[in-house]
Amino acid sequence: MLPITDPMGNYLFKSKLIWALNHSVRVWMFSLPQLEAFVAVAEELHFGAAAERLNMTQPPLSRQIQMLEKKLNTSLFSRTSRKVELTAAGATLLPRARQILDMCIKTDLDVRRVSSGQAGVITVGYTAIAGQSALPVMLRRAAEGMPGVSFVLRELVSTDQMDGLLKGTVDIGLLRPIVGRPGVVSRPLMKDRMVVALPEGSSLLGTTGVPAGQPLPLGSLDRRPLLMYSTQEARYFHDLVLRLFASAGAHANITQYASQVPALLAFVQAGLGVALVPASAMAFAPPGVEFYEIDGRHGMRELNRVELDLAWNEETSNPAVLKLLQLIEPVWQESMPG
């Protein structure tokens, strides 16, 4: 055993093993500037662009990467005269580096707000569609009623948001109604409907007999190439689309899967098939995609309902989250127009 203090009164580790581990960490631990430089290069895949993003010249950026690679004893990038690519080791480090930097940013903000007596930090998880619809509304309300609050925004599929709410890495979730988890509370926040997205000038419309601009019967999509939501990451939309097709007596000929609406719209834009997406997606659709309402007859209107929930951990002790819930409460009581 080592002594508890040295002659100067400084604390020493009781265990040789703990002392050795601490010494090893101090020798091999990389720095936050190195991680920041690594993430910038990994996302830009160009040293010049990464240096500009960090407001620095390229030589010191390269030195940071070299020091990090030396610390880890591995190459993080494959460099040629034409391109920069992540190695397998770099790809493994990237999500962890982002998590460390996010946690450092949030910790810094938390400490500053608490020490100054201001409101704290709220981490908001949101789906791609919510980022274009409900999220801006919520942020405007927060800016008016909670100007001292800082927000960390994370685009996540609904299942990942639910996991984050349970783990404490997400404070508020804007997600689709999925199977509830003990400890997570949710309220309906926004209503929407599904519409049909087709490639512009699709030959499909020439075979339906439906005039341009008129609602499209889902039966006309029978056995057409259907671009579908992932069963694991977008189960809510996957099941809804299948119910709509079954109600119309149409066969869902699934040819591609994606977890987010923008990816499905990219498939449509490429002419790979048709997709059913929330009507709110029309506001940010790529060129080359056109939309048709779904014929609401024969009970289809009642079935064609899309909801977005606001969710949070019922045991949250974050005062800013509780205040935000008070601000948003009138929204879920009245329900936002879809």
CA distance linking residue 11 with residue 272, whole number of Å: 66
Model pLDDT, residue 12: 44
CA distance linking residue 334 with residue 191, whole number of Å: 11
Residue 180 near residue 173 (C-beta atoms within 8 A): no
Convert 311-336 into a string of H (helix), E (strand) and C (coil).
EEECCCCCHHHHHHHHHHHHHHHHCE
CA angle at 319 for the pair 315 and 321, rounded to the nearest 5°: 70
Model pLDDT, residue 30: 79
Model pLDDT, residue 139: 93
Pick from 123, 229, 220, 254: which is nearest to 176 by CA? 229
Model pLDDT, residue 1: 41
CB atoms inside a 10 Å sphere around CB 152: 16
Model pLDDT, residue 87: 95
Q: Which domains does the chain have, with CATH numbers?
A: 31-117 (1.10.10.10), 119-190+307-334 (3.40.190.10), 194-304 (3.40.190.10)
Cα torsion for 142, 147, 148, 149, to the nearest 10°? 20
Model pLDDT, residue 266: 95
What is the bridge-based pairing of β-strands 225-229 and 253-258?
parallel
Model pLDDT, residue 117: 33
Q: What string of pLDDT tens digits covers the 338 residues of the chain?
A: 444 444 544 444 444 444 443 444 444 577 899 999 999 999 999 999 999 999 999 999 999 999 999 999 999 999 888 899 999 999 999 999 999 999 988 888 777 765 443 557 899 999 988 998 899 989 998 888 888 888 999 999 998 999 999 999 999 999 998 777 888 999 888 899 999 999 988 776 656 566 666 888 888 888 899 999 999 888 999 999 999 999 999 999 999 999 899 999 999 999 999 999 999 999 888 999 999 999 877 778 888 999 999 999 999 888 888 888 888 887 666 654 44
Model pLDDT, residue 215: 86
Convert the chain into a string of H (helix), E (strand) and C (coil).
CCCCECCCCCECCCCHHHHHHHHHHHHHCCCHHHHHHHHHHHHHCCHHHHHHHCCCCHHHHHHHHHHHHHHHCCCCEEECCCCEEECHHHHHHHHHHHHHHHHHHHHHHHHHHHHHCCCCEEEEEECCCHHHCHHHHHHHHHHHHCCCCEEEEEECCHHHHHHHHHHCCCCEEEECCCCCCCCEEEEEEEEECEEEEEECCCHHHHHCCCCCCCCECHHHHCCCEEEEECCCCCHHHHHHHHHHHHHCCCCCEEEEEECCHHHHHHHHHCCCCEEEEEHHHHHHCCCCEEEEEECCCCCHHHHCCEEEEEEEECCCCCHHHHHHHHHHHHHHHHCECC
